[in-house]
Amino acid sequence: MKTFTIENEKLRAVFIDYGARLISLTVKDKEIDVIYGCKNPDDMLSDKSANFGACVGRYANRIAHARFTLAGKEYLLPANDGDNCLHGGHGFANRYYDCKDENNTLVCTYDSPDGEDGFPGNLRLTVTYSLQGGALKIEYRAVCDKETVCNFTNHSYFNLNGGGNVLSHTLFVDADRINPTDSQSIPLKETMDVTGTPFDFREPKQVGRDIGALHEQLILARGYDHNYILNGSGFRKCARLSGDESGITMDVYTDQPGIQIYSGNYLGDADENYRGAICLETQHFPDTPNRPDFPSCILMPSDEMISVTMYEFS
């Protein structure tokens, strides 16, 4: 396993080639590492569910019943989350990438063979991490020799205080609606307006303010673990997270249609690490390969998928 560090005057980021994982991100003027999870690279080999800091694919989030149909053919995937496929099965998070430090920019490439985890086509994913002032920029580029589906995200867990839980962090999400889910976290047919519900973060509020409300969706997921349908289109600011103790603020920018907000509901399971971090995963919607009403995640062999997400700290 190889370790790589890129840094500038404001940030220092440490990665490993296993899963192209971000294992540390230090905001220098505070000397606070805002990334939660394993710090010893070798410990990442035992991480098969949390996906700490990983680049997740071939399809991030869930695909219902671990199957989908594309161009008239059904594809069967590993069922690793009940009846469903989560984060691509074995997934890109648990593969070694070819990583190169190119002038303080980390370029990570993974070649996924046709049929890996059941997905069609030989796909090449290139993930480029770079620092721009106080921002970590993540660019995804993918090409494939067959029609396929794909969805990539970074699965970092953030704690802007550097410790404790994140319930006192303040969160803003620019979304009027979410995808409510069934008991297996698969989106229901109808979307849900967040107005008047615990899911409304259009005005900044503490993560923990409403997390214990007796709302069916919170009870099913043990907290927040939902796709927010982002307002607007193109590359835009979609969320802001603020640490109450550190004073660090993180603005999230993306060109993706959704963002999964996961409040660490299974971290620590009620010990001192319970809800010790929060994920803000930019993405296509869960189960899109089975939902033609969702924004398309299809990649044609004549096209290149390009997407950018940025986490900016101040």
List the catalytic residues: 155, 281
Cis peptide before 202 (omega within 30 of 0): no
* Secondary structure (3-state) at 93: helix
Q: Which amino acid is at 300?
A: M
Spatial contact of 81 and 62, defined as CB atoms under 8 Å apart: yes
DSSP bridge pairs for 25: 13
d(CA 274, CA 267): 5
Q: What angle is formed at CA 97 by the lines to CA 300 and CA 59, rounded to 5 degrees? A: 40
d(CA 81, CA 59): 14
> b/e map of 152-168 (b: 16 or more CB within 10 Å)?
bbbbbbbbbbbebbbbe
Q: Which amino acid is at 103?
A: N
Q: What is the β-pairing status of strands 298-299 and 148-149?
A: antiparallel
Q: Left, alpha or beta for 50 (phi > 0: left; psi -120 to 50: alpha)?
A: alpha
DSSP calls for 12-59 = EEEEETBTTEEEEEEETTTTEE-EES--SGGGGGG-SSS-TT-EE-SB
DSSP calls for 177-207 = EEE-B-TTS-B-SS-EE-TTSTT--SS-EET
